[in-house]
Chains A and B, each alone.
Chain A
């Protein structure tokens, strides 16, 4: 280990990484658990528990970045301090064996419990659960969003699969992989110009602030997240894609599912008689080219689009679609996602408590009406995991609080899944069920 030089022990954080750290800080402060998420592989068959543990053990040696913590350099840039001394510490893996009578509802209840577990130390960012039931197994990877974004986490599972395929290879020091990132302490003019554009965008978002949002429960401490997961089959997915074409145009699935999400939220908010403010929806987008995810697995390689929807537009679906498409076009044209990445580099000087307050200044205490993403086709490309066929891949993200509410779409093998994630107490179970049923109807998949 002695040949590893000092600079390989740190990975500078980008501005987006720092914003994700701030969201983690806010959520941890409010609910006691940070900005975590989990991916579930639903397998037709049961991978061997000991083989799984062996593969995880090998990965820890190769990727010391998995044990890290945030620090600040002498040049004031924050970085991820990589711990090479923790490589011998195993990542937590727990296995549960359920009897054959366990129904899907039981399993989803267990998955939701796992999604709400805390990491036990500030250097733990990942743990696994294997749930064996009948002829199936659910491989659950719960992760800290500071370490992976959603597609990065999927790509990490692909690394695990490759580790299993090459399990006979012996480990040596040259196998150690440490992600690198520049400190980004040059081209300040470019960052300030980007900052001006982002500032103008936020001022526009805040014109009618605070945005329309569901009230948070009085006490947030130790509140759990709840989830409604709807997997669509191939036929339903084809129907949704066809409806997207008819109502939004060719290759307009993202604006279509976003408009559908706003449309159902508007009905929910109206029923609750929440009638002030606009809908403000940040949408995270992957900035890596599709084929490059495997090369940029760790940390956050996303940026954001910001949509504002006036309530009168949310009443009429064609108007809503048109507004969202127009905003998407204008933001891509003005290179907002790239400028947001650049401008956020300036925010790294701020300590997290201050940054988390500043993030709420523009929208008068709020961050958004709800969170949304359409991850697209999974970055996990194999059809099997450790020799067992994958039936589906699901995401169960906890949403930063505020808003504590989000709708997330992703695809696996051309089949869409949608997940509603909400902090306990924000929605009743009845409201959550109604919301998801209305969404299915709106998408034309029911």
Chain B
């Protein structure tokens, strides 16, 4: 799966979690500015585990790795 595809999957899932139009999800805006909070972030991490088989909750990734959909997609690709 290429980076663009991962980004699209994540953006689509965030739109589902926040119940907003997917077109409103901007990929290089910090997640907390899109409206993601602790609970919705954990929902996203659970989705990543189920979809990509990667556990990110205790992965030691930093704020920069998680900050935007783009950086998160990169982290998933690296894993």
- Check: A202 CB closer than 8 A to any chain B CB: no
Tell me how far the C-beta of B42 lies from the nearest C-beta in chain A, rounded to whole angstroms.
5
Instruction: Check if A245 sits within 8 Å of B18, measured CB to CB.
Output: no
Partner of B19, one of A255, A289, A332, A376: A289
Partner of B38, one of A255, A290, A326, A333: A255
Interface size on B, residues (CB 8 A): 23
Tell me how far the C-beta of B50 lies from the nearest C-beta in chain A, rounded to whole angstroms.
8
Given A289-B20, A292-B19, A325-B57 contact (CB < 8 Å): yes
Instruction: Check if A253 sits within 8 Å of B38, measured CB to CB.
Output: yes
Instruction: Check if A251 sits within 8 Å of B18, measured CB to CB.
Output: no
Interface size on A, residues (CB 8 A): 21
Instruction: Check if A332 sits within 8 Å of B38, measured CB to CB.
Output: no
- A residues 239-255 touching B (CB-CB < 8 Å): 245, 250-255
Nearest-CB residue, chain A, relative to B43: A332
Instruction: Check if B37 sits within 8 Å of A253, measured CB to CB.
Output: yes
Nearest-CB residue, chain B, relative to A241: B32
Partner of B66, one of A250, A285, A289, A374: A250
Nearest-CB residue, chain B, relative to A255: B38
A245 to B41, CA, bound (A): 13
A289 to B21, CA, bound (A): 12
Chain B residues with CB under 8 Å of A285's CB are 39
Partner of A329, one of B18, B36, B46: B46
Q: Which 8 A-B pairs have the closest CB atoms?
A: A289-B19, A254-B38, A251-B41, A250-B63, A250-B66, A333-B46, A332-B42, A329-B57
A-to-B contact residues, CB < 8 Å: 245, 250-255, 285, 289-292, 322, 325-326, 328-329, 332-333, 374, 376
